[in-house]
Amino acid sequence: MAQKVSVTFACDFDEKAIPEGQHRVRKFSVDGRDYEIDLCLRHSEKFDEAIGRFAEHARRVSGRPPRTKRRTTAHRQRSARIRAWAKDEGIGVNDRGRIPAEVVSRYEATHS
């Protein structure tokens, strides 16, 4: 038995079926959010015109992801002091991972 699967795309702008060969996936970002939209050829061209007017005046940015913060020696030492204090006080904390905010605030209240 043979099966034939057919996929039909609809334009996200007007929800009409997109003729074969005219499907365009457009990706864009606004305010740090990434978007993707399926458009027919006509709406894709209108999208280009609208975005193009703004892109003419925009700056390009690099595609590098932001650097993650590295834990410093001072931060690790402070965490170790908080964990040791919590254990002395009978407060259960894990040896690794994030220290609950409540434990940190209690530590800071007693050491200020």
Pick the CATH number of 8-59 from 3.40.1360.10, 3.30.60.230, 2.60.40.10, 3.30.300.130: 3.30.60.230
pLDDT tens figures, 8-37: 999 999 999 999 999 999 999 888 899 999
73-110 in CATH: which number?
Answer: 4.10.320.10
pLDDT tens figures, 45-100: 999 999 999 999 998 887 777 777 777 888 999 999 999 999 999 999 999 989 99
Whether the domain at 8-59 and the domain at 73-110 fall into the same CATH topology: no
Its pTM stands at 0.51
Q: What is the DSSP string of 23-88?
A: -EEEEEEETTEEEEEEE-HHHHHHHHHHHHHHHTTPPP---PPPPPPPPPHHHHHHHHHHHHHHHH
Which residue would you say has higher pLDDT here, 106 or 68?
106
Q: What are the domain boundaries of the chain?
A: 8-59, 73-110
